[in-house]
Structure formats: structure tokens, C-alpha cells
């Protein structure tokens, strides 16, 4: 258990849950400690543009609502509520509707009107007793991987990644125990890798998107960001229990993902492929990947070197992404001047339309790629595939909203991650240390076959137990931004 002098938010979700259950800590005190730390570490009030010397992880805070919900959680705990999330503050990406709170997608396109209803993911967490911590910044409408209005807590001159950059930064800066985000090409996994924390992207159909602003509905996933995969597992169990009420494809639902059992890596078949050689992988990233690969072997995993199936061509990925995104954004064509430059070009409803047959052919090739990967996992009896999460550590921030920036699956941030949105397979992303050259975190991912979420989490937790997430110094990050 944490030392009494340790700040509550440094204790970890499982320890916090225990302290709340035993009465050592109240949810109200935890919420106030969180609000105080946000005031100390965010770098000022939430800002649309951010500042070079600020983390600026938050798009919106409502301390009164947070404290009211914390008081309600204390009453639930006193009445015997045993939910591990009861009283735990959770950050919410600014794409998830929370009743009574504004929903803006970190954009000036949307009005700041209170949402009338909870999104399905937040409703599931609230039903488990989670406390609303605030909305975290997204790359505008999730249409990019940098979230440049947010600074990386490791070095504020660098990007926190995206599109769930605010969530990754808030967790990495110790401002909140965990957060939820969306992932269309790597948007929870990339911030986790760049900020030195963990994330989990469930299988495609396991968490509904009701009430969540979409980017590309057939590629979008919902997942948690937290210091460890064990923390992520608690949120995944609750999120996957959310009912879907407006599911046009009829795929969301099924039983909740069970809490993973404790396992070892002994005998697990971990695949290593040449995918890491297809991109220009930074030396720091490669060193972290090789370190985790060797650690898996030392822990008893059987490493299996295999050729990988071909990926979906980037043009097909972009066809699916752009067609679906522009369909949603057509409703805002009279507000194009309010978008940031790169997003305006991406969603431009006046661009030449993509033919329906081109979209359907791309989806057909996507199904074929998914089937090949599914067969590959089964044929070779693979428990997980290990690879880097991002090909580079956190890049410098400041140009991610410039016109012409890529938003698809070809840039070094998404070159590995986008494949698993195409297939919808589960991914556990975790830190792999700090780069000797960059001084920034790097990360790796374990990918599993579809619907092996609990097993994949168990393997990831076993690997992470031997390689805990790195610590970081917030004051040093501030100095780095002004150096």
C-alpha cells in the first residue's frame, strides 16, 4: 500500500480503489486532490490553443460536478458498493457526451451547449461509480495524431500524440488515474507510447460508440489510457458492459470482457515479424522494442519469427477514413472557416466525392486482409504479436494542424497502429523504457486475435510486471519547453 506521504494520485488505480473501500481515503478527498494537482500541473485553465509552457491536457473542467459526483460515490461506498471504479476520477476525451457538460471535439465548429444524454461508454463508467474528472483535449475532431494544443509532460516542446493527446498527457502528468479515448488509427496507443503510459484497444465490436462523435465509424474504437495495463483492464471490463442502442451494423455487444487472470509468459507463443523493418524505426524505439522482445523470451515466452500477411494498401485505408469522415462533417459545411487548417482540408465537403463503388471495393479488400490475419494467428497458434507502437518518439509540437499534414495510416506515428483498426484486433500498448538519445518514452504493443481481449491483457500485464512504466519529472518538462 502507498506510503501515507505519497500523493493519492501516485498510488495507482488498484491501490486507490482499496483505500476507498477501507475508508482510508474518501472519494471527495481524492477528487479535491485531483483538482489541486490539475491546478498545479496543467499550466493554467483549459485553453483552446495551449501554450509552449503548459501541458493543457484539459478542454473543460467542472469542479462542482466532480465534487458532487465524488460525494455521491462516498455514499455508494458507505452503502457497500464494491465496484473497483466507484469514487475513481476518470478523464473523458472531448468526443464523449456527458450529460450536462459541453461537447466540442476541441473545436470552434461546435457550440458549447450541454449534452442532453450520456454517451454509452461514459454511462457504463458512471454506472460503475466513476467520477467525471473533466473533458480532455483531442486533436480537433480526432482527425490527426499530434494534438498540438497539448504539451508532452516529459518535455513540453514535444507532442503528446493523438488524437487522444489530452488523455495521454493528463495520465502521464499524474493529473488523473485514468482516461478514456477513441482510436481510429492508433489514437489511444500513440499517446500512451509518446507519454510513457499504457493503453488498450479492445476488439472492434466490444465497446459501443453511442453518443461519441465519430471520425470513421467502421475504424473507430473506444479504449482506456492509464499508467498500467492492470489499470486499463478495470476500465475495459466496465466499458465492454455498455449496451448499444443505436448500432447500425449489428455487431456491438456480447458479454463483457472479463477481468484477466494472472498468468505467466511461460509457453506463450509470441510472434516476431518483419513489419518492424518496413518503416524507418527510430533507434530509441528499436532499442526499446528489442529490450521488451528479449524480456519476453527471458520470462519464458516462445518467440516465433514469421512472415506477416500484407497490409491493406494505404489508399484503401484512406478511402474508408475520408469517405466516412466527410459524410459526418457535411453537416458543418457552413462552418468550414472555424476548422483548423489541416482538418478543414481533410473534411472539405466541396472536395470531389469518393465513388461508392471505390469505398465498397476498399471495404472488400479490408475484409480479405482481416481474414488473412485471422487465419495467420490460428494457423501458427500465436498468442500475441509483438511490435513497436510508434516508429518514432514524440516529435516536436507546433505543426500538426498545418495544411497538408497526413491523417491516415502512412505517417511514422500510425505506420504500425492503423493495421489493427483495419482488422479490429485487440491491442495492449505499454511503455518500453526511455530513449537514450531522445530522453523520451518509447512503447511496444502486443496484438491478439479477435476476441482474445482478456487473454491478451493477461499476457501484457505479465510482461509489464517485469518492466514497470518509467517515471517522469514534470518540472524538468517545463524547463525543456523553455530551453
Give the catalytic positions in this structure. Answer: 93, 163, 187
> For the residues of 382-411, what is the DSSP string, one character each?
-SEEEEES-SSSPPBSS-TTSTT---SS-S
What is the phi/psi pair of residue 238, to 5°? -70, -45
CB contact at 8 A, 145 and 346: no
Residue 231 · residue 199 · CB < 8 Å: no
* Positions of E strands within 153-301: 155-159, 178-183, 198-201, 221-226, 269-272
The C-alpha cell that represents 302 in the structure block: 516462445
Residue with cell 444524454: 117
Which residue shows C-alpha cell 465509424?
A: 217
Phi, psi for residue 304 in degrees, rounded to 5: -120, 115
Distances (CA, A) of 109 to 105, 199, 350, 372: 9, 29, 17, 40
Taking phi over 0 as left and psi of -120 to 50 as alpha, with beta for the rest, 196 belongs to: left
Helix (H) or strand (E) holding 114: none
Number of C-beta neighbours around residue 103 at 10 A? 23
Amino acid at each position: 500500500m502507498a506510503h501515507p506521504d505519497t500523493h493519492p494520485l501516485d498510488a495507482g488505480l488498484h491501490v486507490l480503489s482499496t483505500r476507498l473501500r477501507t475508508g482510508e481515503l474518501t472519494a471527495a478527498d481524492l477528487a479535491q486532490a485531483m483538482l489541486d494537482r490539475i491546478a498545479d500541473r496543467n499550466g493554467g485553465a483549459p485553453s483552446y490553443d495551449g501554450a509552449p509552457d503548459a501541458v493543457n491536457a484539459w478542454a473543460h473542467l467542472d469542479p462542482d460536478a466532480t465534487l458532487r459526483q465524488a460525494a455521491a460515490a462516498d455514499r455508494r461506498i458507505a452503502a457497500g458498493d464494491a465496484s473497483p471504479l466507484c469514487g475513481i476520477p476518470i478523464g473523458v476525451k472531448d468526443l464523449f457526451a456527458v450529460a450536462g457538460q459541453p461537447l466540442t471535439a476541441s473545436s470552434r465548429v461546435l457550440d458549447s451547449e450541454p449534452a442532453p444524454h450520456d454517451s454509452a461508454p461514459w454511462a457504463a463508467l458512471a454506472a460503475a461509480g466513476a467520477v467525471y474528472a473533466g473533458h480532455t483535449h483531442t486533436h480537433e475532431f480526432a482527425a490527426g495524431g499530434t494534438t498540438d494544443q497539448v504539451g508532452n509532460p516529459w518535455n513540453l516542446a514535444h507532442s503528446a500524440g493523438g488524437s487522444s493527446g489530452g488523455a495521454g498527457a493528463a495520465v502521464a502528468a499524474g493529473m488523473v488515474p485514468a482516461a478514456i479515448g477513441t482510436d481510429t488509427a492508433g489514437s489511444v496507443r500513440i499517446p500512451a507510447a509518446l507519454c510513457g503510459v499504457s493503453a488498450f484497444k479492445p476488439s472492434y465490436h466490444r465497446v459501443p460508440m453511442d453518443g461519441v462523435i465519430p471520425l470513421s465509424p467502421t475504424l473507430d474504437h473506444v479504449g482506456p489510457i492509464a499508467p498500467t495495463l492492470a489499470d486499463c483492464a478495470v476500465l475495459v471490463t466496465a466499458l465492454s458492459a455498455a449496451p448499444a442502442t443505436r448500432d447500425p451494423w449489428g455487431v456491438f455487444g456480447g458479454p463483457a470482457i472479463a477481468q484477466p487472470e494472472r498468468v505467466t509468459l511461460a509457453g506463450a507463443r509470441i510472434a516476431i515479424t518483419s513489419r518492424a523493418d518496413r518503416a524507418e524505426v527510430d533507434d530509441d524505439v528499436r532499442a526499446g522494442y528489442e529490450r521488451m522482445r528479449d524480456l519476453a523470451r527471458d520470462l519464458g515466452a516462445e518467440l516465433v519469427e514469421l512472415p506477416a500477411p500484407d497490409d491493406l494498401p494505404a489508399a484503401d485505408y484512406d478511402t474508408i477514413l475520408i469517405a466516412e469522415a466527410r459524410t459526418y462533417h457535411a453537416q458543418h459545411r457552413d462552418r468550414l472557416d472555424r476548422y483548423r487548417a489541416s482538418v478543414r482540408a481533410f473534411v472539405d465537403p466541396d472536395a470531389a466525392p469518393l465513388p461508392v463503388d471505390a469505398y465498397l471495393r476498399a471495404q472488400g479488400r479490408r475484409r480479405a486482409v482481416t481474414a488473412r490475419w485471422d487465419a495467420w494467428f490460428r494457423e501458427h497458434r500465436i498468442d500475441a504479436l509483438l511490435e513497436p507502437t510508434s516508429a518514432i518518439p514524440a516529435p516536436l509540437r507546433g505543426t500538426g494542424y498545418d495544411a497538408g499534414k497526413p491523417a491516415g495510416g502512412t505517417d511514422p506515428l500510425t505506420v504500425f497502429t492503423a493495421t489493427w483498426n483495419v482488422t479490429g484486433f485487440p491491442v495492449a500498448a505499454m511503455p518500453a523504457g526511455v530513449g537514450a538519445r531522445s530522453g523520451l518514452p518509447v512503447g511496444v504493443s502486443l496484438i491478439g486475435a479477435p476476441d482474445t481481449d482478456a487473454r491478451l491483457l493477461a499476457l501484457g500485464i505479465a510482461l509489464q510486471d517485469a518492466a514497470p512504466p518509467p517515471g517522469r519529472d514534470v518540472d524538468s518538462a517545463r524547463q525543456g519547453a523553455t530551453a
